[in-house]
Amino acid sequence: MKNSEIWIAFYTILVREIRRFTRIWPQTLLPPAITMSLYFAIFGNLIGDRIGEMGGFSYMQYIVPGLIMMSVITNSYSNVSSSFFSAKFQHSVQELLVSPTPNWIILLGYTLGGVARGLCVGLIVTVLSLFFTHLALENLFLTVLVVCLTAVMFSLGGFVNAIYAKSFDDVSIVPTFILTPLTYLGGVFYSIDLLPDFWQSISMLNPVLYMVNAFRYGILGVSDINVYWALVIVSVFIVLLFWFGLRLLNQGKGIRN
Amino acid sequence: MTYAIEISDLKKRYEGGFEALKGIDLKVEKGDFFALLGPNGAGKSTTIGILCSLVNKSSGKVSIFGTDVDENFAKAKKYLGVVPQEFNFNVFETVFNVVVTQAGFYGISKVVAAERAEKYLKQLDLWDKRNDQSRMLSGGMKRRLMIARALIHEPEVLILDEPTAGVDIELRRSMWEFIKKLNEQGTTIILTTHYLEEAEQLCRNIAIINAGEIVENTSVKALLKTLNQETFILDLDVSVPDGWDLPEFNIVISKDATTIEVEVIKGQSINAIFKALDAISVNVVSMRNKSNRLEELFVKLIKG
């Protein structure tokens, strides 16, 4: 395929993915808006007032970056895992497989589709948070960089999940039993300074902690970890997941007999 | 000579050890209307799956218009349009989007894709449904949608895997008219079907596959010539008299004696029957084959 044809194929996949999640917005965009509004109202306003300050900010301000990141992570991941698995399930993935579209473009298209949904939901949650608190923006470049890289990483994770998934249960297992615990324990609601030393060390093994804190640093200027480590870790994960996802596609794992 | 499809020593062993293809060789000429026939599980779908890259081959060589799929799969894929047996489009997309999206996967610009979508959807009587979700279409319409989608990049070879399964007679006829026209315009057609009379009427060349091996690969004409015996049904204007018979033929007479079935063995002349009927002042109103000739051969070849 010529370069121009390759990019038309990429654009087609991306537009189709965006069209999918905007068509079913009551399932994709509305629930995180409602859930996060409830988090803001309950944890931020009602309980947060009694907790007091954290990291030099009101509790509400402290948890907003983490909640934005949580919605970006969950939505990037689930967009790709559900979309690609559905395509496998109803065999529409064959439309792509019989075409000359290179595998790396398929992977890139689906990944950026997940990123688009993650960022879209992240933006909605950010706008909603402004009804509850004021947000300063300490470092715009870092904030955007971290949120984009995180969305890419979890989109790739969702893709690998979809490749291995054989049923809809397999698609929901990872978000329920791995992603949600990692996110809740990744410093969304608290600073790891509050934890005993042992649990602080354990928390340092959680990659989500780095992303949440790097994002929080970009907005509030406070972090439990060195943000450059966060960028290195996310970048390494992206390279590894892209390589692994592409390898699975080339092998035809789960999609070719 | 460059063949549209050239397969040599193609083998496929699935995980678990089942050998679906045991080293088949097949050549399809450019512009051919080719039938790939075989019972369920014979290896037809595996062969087609390998051609359109939905199945990984274990070994062997596949070339499409001289392009080895192992060397330049992207180029090879551009030659092919595939109409699979099962509906495999996104059922929540509109008819128009299903077709235009597929064009995008082939790197066709939106403007050209929209023009072609209009052309093929109109030809296949789906233009009025272009804004409907594809899940709302009837079974026949869904089949036609898959044909429009397969043609959107204007392939040299169109592979149709059981395209008329579950399609009513009228629609089947119009579908074949459309496919025949495509073939006349130069598109190579490869067809698998269980309706053997379709293969007999439409196809020039044929391959019969059984248990992962090609058991016959010839022209339809040549294959039909190998038939040793045919059964004809003759409709008569009046009943034949009681006890009427021709010893050299095996004849079955219907209850009302106005229809007779005659077995004609190779070398025998059917004129003898006409003469005998003429002698008793009975005219033949119409005559047809009792069963599909290809079907008889097919059963014979499969049973070995």
Taking residues B33-46, report their average pLDDT: 89
List the single residue in B52, B91, B108 with the smallest CB-CB distance to A98.
B52
Residue B91 to residue A9, Cβ atoms within 8 A: no
If asked whether residues B201 and B66 sit together in one domain, one would say: yes
Number of domains forming the structure of chain B: 2
DSSP string, B55-103: S--SEEEEEETTEETTT-HHHHHHHEEEE-SS--S-TTSBHHHHHHHHH
* Domain with B242 in it: 228-303
If asked whether residues B17 and B164 sit together in one domain, one would say: yes
Paired sense of beta strands B33-37 and B188-192, if any:
parallel
Å between B156 CA and nearest CA of chain A: 14
Q: Which residues of A102-111 are buried (b: 16+ CB within 10 A; e: fewer)?
A: bbebbbbbbb
Phi/psi at B133 (5° precision) = -65, 140
If asked whether residues B191 and B296 sit together in one domain, one would say: no
Q: Is A257 a member of any domain?
A: no
Query: What ipTM does the predicted assembly reach?
Result: 0.89
If asked whether residues B31 and B98 sit together in one domain, one would say: yes
Query: Using an 8 Å Cβ cutoff, are B72 and B165 in contact?
Result: no
Structure confidence at residue A77 as a pLDDT band (50, 70, 90): very high
Residue B195 has pLDDT above 80, yes or no: no
The sign of the dihedral angle between the CA atoms of A43, A49, A54, A60 is positive
Nearest CA-CA partner of B12 in B213, B274, B272, B162 = B213
Mean of the per-residue pLDDT values for chain A? Answer: 92
| Residues above pLDDT 70, as percent of chain A | 100
Q: Which residues of A touch B93 (CB under 8 A)?
A: 16
For residue B270, give the amino acid letter.
I
Residue A49 has pLDDT above 70, yes or no: yes
B11: which strand partners? B22, B59
If asked whether residues B15 and B113 sit together in one domain, one would say: yes
Residue A16 to residue B91, Cβ atoms within 8 A: no
Phi/psi at B122 (5° precision) = -70, -45
List the single residue in A4, A15, A98 with the smallest CB-CB distance to B77.
A98
What length is written for chain A? Answer: 257
* Domain with A118 in it: 3-251
Q: Is A25 on the interface with B (CB under 8 A)?
A: no
Among B224, B258, B277, the domain boundary falls at B224
Quick: pLDDT tens for A111-152. 999 999 999 999 999 999 999 988 888 899 999 999 999 999
B235: which strand partners? B259, B286
Residue A110: the pLDDT is 98
If asked whether residues B21 and B113 sit together in one domain, one would say: yes
Residue with tokens 């688009």: A116
Q: Is A79 a member of any domain?
A: yes
Q: Is A256 a member of any domain?
A: no
If asked whether residues B219 and B95 sit together in one domain, one would say: yes
CA distance linking residue B298 with residue B278, whole number of Å: 35
List the single residue in A4, A19, A257 with the smallest CB-CB distance to B107.
A4
CA B159 to chain centre: 9
Paired sense of beta strands B229-236 and B284-289, if any:
antiparallel
List the single residue in A8, A23, A92 with the smallest CB-CB distance to B107.
A8
Number of domains forming the structure of chain A: 1
B159: which strand partners? B82, B190
Burial class of residue B210, CB neighbours in 10 A (0-12, 13-18, 19+):
buried
Among B224, B251, B277, the domain boundary falls at B224
Q: Which residues of B touch A84 (CB under 8 A)?
A: none
* Nearest-by-CA chain A residue for B155: A99
CA distance linking residue B73 with residue A101, whole number of Å: 10
pTM of the model: 0.86
Residue A99 to residue B102, Cβ atoms within 8 A: yes
Residue A95 to residue B14, Cβ atoms within 8 A: no
DSSP B239: P
If asked whether residues B159 and B238 sit together in one domain, one would say: no
Q: Which residues of B touch A90 (CB under 8 A)?
A: 88, 90-91
The 3-state DSSP class for residue B26 equals strand
Q: Which residues of B touch A5 (CB under 8 A)?
A: 106-108
Q: Which residues of B touch A89 (CB under 8 A)?
A: none
Give the count of beta carbons closer than 10 Å to the beta carbon of residue B225.
Answer: 10
If asked whether residues B162 and B206 sit together in one domain, one would say: yes
Residue B107 to residue A256, Cβ atoms within 8 A: no
Quick: pLDDT tens for A160-203. 999 999 999 999 898 889 988 998 898 888 888 888 888 888 98
Residue B70 has pLDDT above 90, yes or no: no
CA distance linking residue A70 with residue B270, whole number of Å: 84
**Count of CB contacts below 8 A, A vs B?**
85
If asked whether residues B212 and B268 sit together in one domain, one would say: no
Residue B79, both tokens: 């030659």
CA distance linking residue B192 with residue B198, whole number of Å: 10
Residue B27 has pLDDT above 90, yes or no: yes
CA distance linking residue B132 with residue A153, whole number of Å: 36
